[in-house]
Amino acid sequence: MLNGKRVLLIVTGGIAAYKTPELVRQLIKAGAHVRCVLTKAGEQFVTPLTLSSLSGDKVYTDLFSLTDEHDMGHINLSREADIVLVAPATANALAKMAHGIADDLATTLLLATDKPVLTAPAMNVRMWEHAATRDNVKLLQARGVTMIGPDEGDMACGEWGEGRMSEPEDIVLALNAFFDGEAPLKGFSAVVTSGPTHEAIDPVRYIANRSSGKQGHAIAEALNELGAHVTLVSGPVDLADPQGITVKRVESARDMKAAVDRALPADIAVCAAAVADWRVAGEAEQKMKKDGSATPSFETIENPDILAGLSAPGPNRPRLVVGFAAETESVIEHARAKLAKKGCDWICANDVSPATGTFGGDANTVHLVTRTGVEDWPTQSKRAVARKLAARIAAHLNAEGTATKPGGAG
Ligand code: PMT
């Protein structure tokens, strides 16, 4: 854990530096001692006074300041740290690190340090995707530098893509994981539902919906990346089975429920599948014929509610049950009602009106609704939503420790 660890935070000059006061606050809250080094460009975005007020320590800016060199030269700054964190790490900072350029306090320190270095890159998507940056990142990773993020989403420059600095809580989680020496969800098991269900009318026809499985599969992968043992119960989708995950492919809501029940007990359940609420009563055993008589009409019966079943108190209730709410109007209001009705702990509300492209698309705008409030997440790729949700789940379960509180997650 971060408690008692000394973090040397290097803030370089990107717009994401505005998040560093919050990062310092969260690191201190997690029990770390934080000392900051600010580059000249970094000073354009955040003041030394803000960082020193929050860290309770002097902020170091100048390689050639006699005072800094006298009290605390760059070697001592590194010596007195357990870890060096560069956040934000601009494309320029990564390039200098990769090529051993030392032309200010931050880069000299990075060249001189023998401590583990973690970076949270932040830059425009084109800079992140540029071959030069890709090569620099590879070089740094090969030398043991850890990259935290970046995330995908809207950028200060008005573009959308990968390159946003990870959120402070995700950086804190990554540091915690680094010190723990293991993935934050190691030892936890999860069951995730994904995709649509097909409800048969006869042996060749069925009722379905537009879910592609992209969101649910990404969540299964993100939980697995954080170390959880994941069972993915998927309706019919065109996606390949993710590596390292137990995948159970099913057709109908009833098959999905049976497969979920077989995956229990589990610590975590995330229901991202678009399960058909109804099925046709009395599915025909043979293909229905168009024989000139009246057009068929169907009676429907309600399917079992998998999420509500998982959320019900009992010995097999997962410690954290997360549902999704697919809405086309009054998104938060309806999601709150579903949270209460189904009894899950959190619900990810998303607008699935055709104009949003949520069904089948690559991006999603999620509002995380809990018993205590609503968090509005930016529009981001489904992969980024998944990573954020997995990080939240890990933070919640690790904060909760070993205590099991069915139905009590805030
Ligand atoms: O698959 P993609 O194309 O990537 O799209 C992602 C998504 C839009 C499908 C996903 O983000 C999403 O919103 N999933 C939930 C879809 C849904 O069925 O929502 P709902 O509001 O009808 O249901 C509420 C919750 O109850 C969901 O967690 C659902 O999985 C669950 N449910 C519903 C009915 C049922 N019989 N059993 C259930 O478990």
The residue contributing the CA closest to ligand 1 atom 18 is: 274
Decide if pLDDT at 158 tops 70.
Answer: yes
Give the Å distance between the CA of 325 and the centre of ligand 1: 6
Asked whether 311 lines ligand 1 (CB < 6 A), one says no
Q: pLDDT band for position 407 (50/70/90)?
A: very low
Asked whether 272 lines ligand 1 (CB < 6 A), one says yes
Task: Identify which of 306, 313, 232 has the alpha carbon closest to the alpha carbon of residue 276.
Answer: 306
Decide if pLDDT at 410 tops 70.
Answer: no
Q: What gap in Å lies between CA 388 and CA 394, rounded to an integer?
A: 10
Ligand 1 nearest-atom number relative to CA 309: 39
| 3-state secondary structure (DSSP) of residue 169 | helix
Q: What gap in Å lies between CA 6 and CA 110, rounded to an integer?
A: 16
Asked whether 359 lines ligand 1 (CB < 6 A), one says yes
Q: pLDDT band for position 190 (50/70/90)?
A: very high
The residue contributing the CA closest to ligand 1 atom 35 is: 305
Bigger pLDDT: 156 vs 319? 319
Asked whether 277 lines ligand 1 (CB < 6 A), one says yes
Asked whether 324 lines ligand 1 (CB < 6 A), one says yes
| 3-state secondary structure (DSSP) of residue 217 | helix
Q: What gap in Å lies between CA 122 and CA 20, rounded to an integer?
A: 12
Please say whether the beta carbons of 335 and 349 come within 8 A: yes
Listed as own residue / partner, the contacts of 325-328 with beta carbons closer than 8 Å and 24 or more positions apart are 325/349, 325/350, 325/369, 326/274, 326/350, 326/352, 326/358, 326/359, 327/351, 327/352, 328/352, 328/353
Give me 90's structure tokens: 């601009």
Going through 244-345 in order, the beta strands assigned E by DSSP cover 246-249, 268-271, 278-280, 300-302, 320-327
Q: Which of the residue ranges 117-121, 131-135, 176-180, 264-268 would you say has the lowest mean pLDDT?
A: 176-180
pLDDT of residue 72: 58
Give the Å distance between the CA of 324 and the centre of ligand 1: 5
Give the Å distance between the CA of 361 and the centre of ligand 1: 15
Give the Å distance between the CA of 187 and the centre of ligand 1: 27
Ligand 1 nearest-atom number relative to CA 209: 9
Distances (CA, A) of 397 to 37, 155, 188, 401, 404: 33, 30, 9, 6, 9
Residue with tokens 């014929």: 289
pLDDT of residue 401: 62
Q: Report the CATH number of the 189-278+297-399 domain.
A: 3.40.50.10300
The residue contributing the CA closest to ligand 1 atom 13 is: 326
Asked whether 83 lines ligand 1 (CB < 6 A), one says no
Overall size of the chain counted in residues: 410
Give the Å distance between the CA of 10 and the centre of ligand 1: 42
* Stretch 274-303: mean pLDDT: 90
Selecting from 3.40.50.720, 3.40.50.1950, 1.10.287.130, 3.30.310.80, what CATH number does the domain 6-180 have? 3.40.50.1950
The residue contributing the CA closest to ligand 1 atom 16 is: 274
Asked whether 338 lines ligand 1 (CB < 6 A), one says yes
Cβ of 281: how many Cβ atoms within 10 Å?
A: 9
Q: What gap in Å lies between CA 247 and CA 78, rounded to an integer?
A: 46
- How do residues 27-61 score in pLDDT, each as one tens digit? 999 999 999 999 999 999 999 999 999 999 999 99
Q: pLDDT band for position 404 (50/70/90)?
A: very low
pTM beyond 0.75:
no
Asked whether 331 lines ligand 1 (CB < 6 A), one says no
Decide if pLDDT at 111 tops 90.
Answer: yes
Please say whether the beta carbons of 185 and 226 come within 8 A: yes
Q: What gap in Å lies between CA 284 and CA 73, rounded to an integer?
A: 81
Q: How far is CA 268 from the centre of its chain?
A: 15
Amino acid type, 72: M
Averaged pLDDT of the chain: 91
Ligand 1 pocket mutation, candidates 210, 268, 324, criterion most atoms within 8 A of CB: 324
pLDDT of residue 67: 58
* Stretch 259-285: mean pLDDT: 96
Decide if pLDDT at 409 tops 60.
Answer: no
Asked whether 357 lines ligand 1 (CB < 6 A), one says no
One fold for 6-180 and 189-278+297-399: yes
pLDDT of residue 259: 97
Give the Å distance between the CA of 271 and the centre of ligand 1: 7
Indicate the angle between helix axes 20-29 and 48-55, nearest 10 degrees.
Answer: 10
Decide if pLDDT at 372 tops 80.
Answer: yes
Asked whether 271 lines ligand 1 (CB < 6 A), one says yes
Decide if pLDDT at 405 tops 60.
Answer: no
Beta bridge partners of 8: 35, 84
pLDDT of residue 71: 56
Give the Å distance between the CA of 211 and the centre of ligand 1: 9
Q: Is 260 exposed, middle or buried (0-12, 13-18, 19+ CB in 10 A)?
A: buried
Give me 202's structure tokens: 């006869």
Say if residue 150 is preceded by a cis peptide, omega within 30 of 0. yes
pLDDT of residue 153: 75
pLDDT of residue 275: 98
Q: What gap in Å lies between CA 296 and CA 298, rounded to an integer?
A: 7
Q: Which of the residue ranges 48-62, 130-144, 149-163, 362-376 would you say has the lowest mean pLDDT?
A: 149-163
Give me 345's structure tokens: 């702990």
In the chain, what are the domain boundaries?
Answer: 6-180, 189-278+297-399
Q: Which residues are catalytic?
A: 157
